[in-house]
Structure 1
């Protein structure tokens, strides 16, 4: 056992302070989270469009029949609740009374509150707590208190937690199970970088976590309420000075990327093999997500295509003005777009390369794509099922008039489509593969030498030694 590491009391029982990070759209399912809890830690079932099964145990494809986005959105919520309930029940059974089971939701997912309420109502006594990030989940504490489960907000700064505490959380202080600090430069998936922070200049997490603890103390929160360090955690021995540290109070650790490569992990074999080949720098912190948040994923051909698409971009004016004094004569039909001379020459070159269509963005720019890509983009936008509360790609909003009021953005993509395809056997080069920035360590860590893929129990046992 790693020096200083002690069990914590959570969900009414002693558990190891190691948490499986929740990974949405069927990646953190009952197999991985149930096994994590059975090993004595806190397993996390993702309630973000989780899988359901038919009578033979086969995954039920999430096919949408509604003619309108609102109708498809209601179908999506129903799928999410059924899947979340099924995954929790199976994980709880697998855990066999050991560890604890949390569920994870994104506050920015479409219908988040309805999904959370629906899952918790039907899994009483099985869920210990709810982790929630990607936005400011003010209502999280109220919903958790209603169902008598802990809540664990995911934040990236003390400032964000202070806002949540003052506005809402202080009213349900007794149900605050922990605060997850997610490093916005290192964590996989959607990250909480603010406009004041430079994505190219990672900051040391220690002073940021100390500031978070100071904020919690200001609110009268006990040092026994853990801060969960998430993002960039690989070996516990790298964090030895955080354990039993009076400045920081109780600390737990979340592992999001390492559980991807286990025997119980539901991701396809090709994805697991991809993880073993990564080099440092192969994870990209980018802003292509339709959520508008920064996110981190493997820089595969899917992401490289999005990078290249945004580079084939020019600004335009609807009137001749300043250096926008050349009329665009390629990529568009029947409209007056005025561009600079240099951009006109670039646009003509792109068209010669096969990028024949110019699509308008919300920022008064045009991006050049192939006719084939244009057809896919327009179909995906038309097929939107409202998986986010606000979607930049399709201009969907899950309330009021169901529109963000902004032009749909062709520089983004349908996140539901690609994440579903990735986890259910799609081409790993043509889909989004979320991962933390430490994923290159699979190739370097001797634990995984000769292609070894551990069980979750073997992984948790290994982590608890410090490695």
Structure 2
């Protein structure tokens, strides 16, 4: 058994066990409140969080705006209202134990407006803000305004160095901890840099040692580092605990809290988690954010992979080997392919993939007519959920709210699919036909004896199990 001692985080003593924030509507007030009540740090997602009606049912988001900009404003209002609701529920359930954190993604649209609105509407109920998916320089300013602690999520010492020198050094007293999120093992969006190979995972230990050395150079030797990604049994991390080279360490659990009785995900989703095999979680580059992300390799991901494989480069004039004329769109406008690619295009057409869609990289992808209609409809219905979206070419920045690039049909509407898998509880196929984020250890549900015979614990039982080291 690995001994687990309390750690000082956010100004109090807590168990070094942190619930990872998962949007949309997956980490909520109920899960985070119970996690905090068990003595750890509960985290609810403030990314388009659900509000609930008087009966306790989630209030589904219905957009009435005629333009993207109008729908974006509705989305921000929904997110603030939902975040306040979840904060209140978490605070009530925690009963003064542990800590309650709100998680946001810096690359979500209106991130600063949303978290500011939530903190204003839930004053005194939230103890910390965790934030990743981008470089959240303004995070420390927001924390200082409301007197809460902040926890940036980084995947390297270099990233934290930039954040510290530009902004965080001005609010050092409120830096509650630094989350090291392993870019090869964590679920959801990952912080792989251009110089890192997605197919070659690196040992997290030297990367975290480098982060600790940097923190000590800034006088932050006692600031906790929270290890996120790949954590399952603490016995497997015993060399990290009470290790003077690493200093204060806590551990974040993102995937495991999904399989609890308090978790709001559907029964079909929970059953799917219990059947995952090693390799079923796929590190992919399809997200409209432009980040890599880790998701279950279900029918949704397979369709994206196949869609991207049916792709050829084109030119608008005959150039080099691109001499084979091909007509694109209803007006059959001419582009030029290589002869081998023209043969491939005709083969895809014979298979039913008759619609050629242009990408921003001067390539064509081939899809069936119904998929083409779905892609176009989703792009038109965009509600501006990201700061920049490569799928719809939305940008939250004025004057034209556009990335300035063509919309990219190789990606997808992330808001649509995450809302669907979170709320289509009565559709057993929802877990196959939507984006299903997971950490790479998700396959261990099927092999861990704790979950034998389909056992699903309460949050309290899960935390108690983790404290045994196993």
| TM-score tier (shorter) | over 0.9
Q: Does 1:32 align with 2:31?
A: yes
Note if contact 1:330-1:347 (Cα within 8 Å) is conserved in structure 2. Answer: no
The equivalent residue for 2:42 is: 43
Contact 1:38–1:94 under 8 Å retained in 2: yes
Q: Are 1:352 and 2:372 an aligned pair? A: no
Secondary structure of the residue aligned to 1:101 is: strand
**Aligned equivalents of 1:179 and 1:47: distance in 2?**
19
1:79 maps onto 2:78 in alignment: yes
Q: Which runs of 5+ in 1 are unaligned?
A: none
Paired position in structure 1 for 2:101 = 102
- 1:398 paired residue number: 396
Q: How many residues align?
A: 465
Q: Find 1:462's aligned residue among 451, 454, 465.
A: 465
**Corresponding residue number in structure 2 for 1:302:** 300
The residue number in structure 2 matching 1:244 is 242
CA distance in 2, matches of 1:167, 1:243: 31
TM-score by length of 2: 0.98
Contact 1:4–1:244 under 8 Å retained in 2: no
Structure 1 match to 2:285: 287
Aligned to 1:52: 51
Give, in whole Å, the separation in 1 of the partners of 2:218 and 2:223.
12
Equivalent residue for 1:320, pick from 308, 318, 328:
318
Give the C-alpha shift of residue 275 in structure 1: 0.4
Sort the Cα spacing of 1:355 and 1:331 in 2 relative to 1 into closer, same or farther, 3 A: farther
Kindly indicate whether residue 148 of structure 2 is the aligned counterpart of residue 149 of structure 1. yes
Cα gap change, 1:314 to 1:183, in 2 (>3 Å):
same
| CA distance in 2: counterparts of 1:371 and 1:218, whole angstroms | 58
Q: Deviations over 1:46-74 (max 9, x none)?
A: 00000001122211110100111111001
Residue 421 in 1 paired to residue 420 in 2?
Answer: yes
SS state at 1:65 partner: coil
CA distance in 1, matches of 2:11, 2:205: 29
Q: Distance in 2 between matches of 1:182 and 1:295?
A: 12
After superposing the two structures, state which structure 1 stretch, 446-455 or 394-403, moved more: 394-403
* Residues 17 and 244 (structure 1), Cα distance of their counterparts in 2 relative to 1, 3 Å cut: same
User: What SS does structure 2 have at the residue aligned with 1:440?
Assistant: helix
Matches within 5 A, 1:350-389: 350-389=348-387
The separation in 2 between residues aligned to 1:228 and 1:275, in whole angstroms, is: 25
Whole-Å separation in 2 of the counterparts to 1:332 and 1:208: 52
Whole-angstrom CA distance in 2 between matches of 1:177 and 1:11: 5
Q: 1:340 aligns with which of 322, 333, 338?
A: 338
SS of the residue aligned with 1:19? Answer: strand
Tell me the residue number matched to 1:5: 4
Shift of 1:348: 0.3
Superposition CA RMSD, Å: 1.0
Question: What CA distance in whole angstroms lies between the structure 2 residues aligned with 1:5 and 1:31?
Answer: 25
Once the two structures are superposed, the pairs formed by residues 13-24 of structure 1 within 5 Å of their partners are 13-24=12-23
State the SS of the aligned residue for 1:75. Answer: helix
1:329 Cα offset (Å): 4.5
Deviations 1:110-154 (A, max 9, x none): 100000100011111111100000000000001001100000000
2-structure distance, mates of 1:12, 1:405:
45
Q: Which runs of 5+ in 2 are unaligned?
A: none
- Cα 1:121–1:330 change in 2 (3 A) is closer
**Structure 2 equivalent of residue 175 of structure 1:** 174
Q: CA deviation at 1:14?
A: 2.0
Structure 1 position 334, deviation (Å): 2.7
Q: How far apart are residue 342 of structure 1 and its match? A: 0.6
Shift of 1:320: 0.6
Q: Deviations over 1:256-311 (max 9, x none)?
A: 00001000000000000000111100000000000000000000000000000000
CA distance in 2, matches of 1:71, 1:407: 21
Contact kept in structure 1, 2:327 and 2:333, CA below 8 Å: no
CA contact (8 A) 1:110 1:389 kept: yes
- Partner residue, 1:235: 233
| C-alpha contact 2:9 2:224 (8 A) present in aligned 1 | no
| Displacement after TM superposition at 1:372 (Å) | 0.3
